[in-house]
Structure 1
C-alpha cells in the first residue's frame, strides 16, 4: 500500500481497536488468573495479586504490544480494523526502541485526564501525544469498503 492509498486513522476507529485489544487480553488473561488465584482474584484490592498477576497483567501486555507494533505494524485490534502504526518520517515499521518509547509515552498521554489520547480527535494528523513523542502515525486504507454495487443496464 503506498502513501496515496492511506489516510490518518481517527479517534473513534482507534477507540474501537483498543476495545478489541482489551477484550482479547481479558479473554486470555482472566481464565488463567482465576485458575491461579481463584474467583477472589476479581475482588482483589491490591494492584498486583502475586507474581503470575504481575507477569500476565503488566509484563505480557507490554511485550506483546511492542512485538506487534514492531513486527506486524498493528495489534490484533488495529489489524481487525485495518489500521497500521508506522514511523511518521519514513512510513516504515517501528523499531523495538521506538515501540518501547511509544508504549512509555502512553503514560504521558494518560496522566493529564487522558488529554493526550483525546488529542487524536483534535490533531490534523490524528496523532496522540504518544504518537508525537514516538514520531509515529496510525493509518488506514482510504478504500476500505467492498466492491461498489453495479447493476447491469436494462
Structure 2
C-alpha cells in the first residue's frame, strides 16, 4: 500500500458524515416507533431499555443491516458518500471483507463507551483512524483527488 497516495478523511468531515447518517436513520426509524408505541416512546421518565420486540428490531437490527449493506455495496454510508469518502482495508487499500465490517460495527460501541474517546481518536491519529477502524484494520479515504477536481471542475475522480 502506498500511504502517500491516500488522503485520509479527518475528524470534522467524518463528524459531518455521521450527522447526515444519524438524521437519515432517525427519519427512517422514528415514524415506525411512533406508529407502534406512540409519542410515549420518547418519554425520558421511562426506565425500560427496550419497549418491545418491534423496538428491538427497529432500533438495533434495522441500523445494523442498513449500515452493513451500505458498507458492503458502496464502502460508505450515505453521509460518507456526500463527503466523497469510502472505507478501505488499511493494509491493501482494497474493499474490506465481511469480518472487518462486523468488527468495525462492533467497534462503534467500544469507541463510544469511554465518553466517545474512540471517535475523537480520529482527530489525533496519523492515519485518522478511530478505534473502530483500528479494530477492523480499515481507513477512511477521499474517493476523488481534490486537486484534480479543482482543475477539471470536479468531473474526474480517481480510483484507489
Same fold? TM cut 0.5: yes
Report the TM-score when normalising by structure 2: 0.84
- 2:79 maps to 77
Give the deviation of 1:107 after TM superposition. Answer: 2.0
In structure 2, what is the Cα distance between the partners aligned to 1:107 and 1:33? 22
Structure 1: gaps spanning 5 or more residues: 149-154
Out of 57, 65, 70, the position equivalent to 1:55 is 57
For the pair 1:104 / 2:109, whether they are aligned, the reply is no
Report the TM-score when normalising by structure 1: 0.87
For the pair 1:35 / 2:41, whether they are aligned, the reply is no
- 1:23 maps to 23
Q: Determine which structure has more spread, i.e. the larger CA radius of gyration.
A: 1
Out of 134, 137, 150, the position equivalent to 1:135 is 137
- Classify the secondary structure of the residue corresponding to 1:97: helix
- 1:124 maps to 126
Which has the higher relative contact order, 1 or 2, with Cα contacts under 8 A spaced 6 or more apart? 1
Count of residue pairs the alignment pairs up? 147
Q: After TM superposition, where is structure 1 displaced by more than 4 Å over at least 4 residues in a row?
A: 2-6
Give the deviation of 1:142 after TM superposition. Answer: 3.2
Matches within 5 A, 1:85-100: 85-100=87-102
Give the deviation of 1:90 after TM superposition. Answer: 1.3
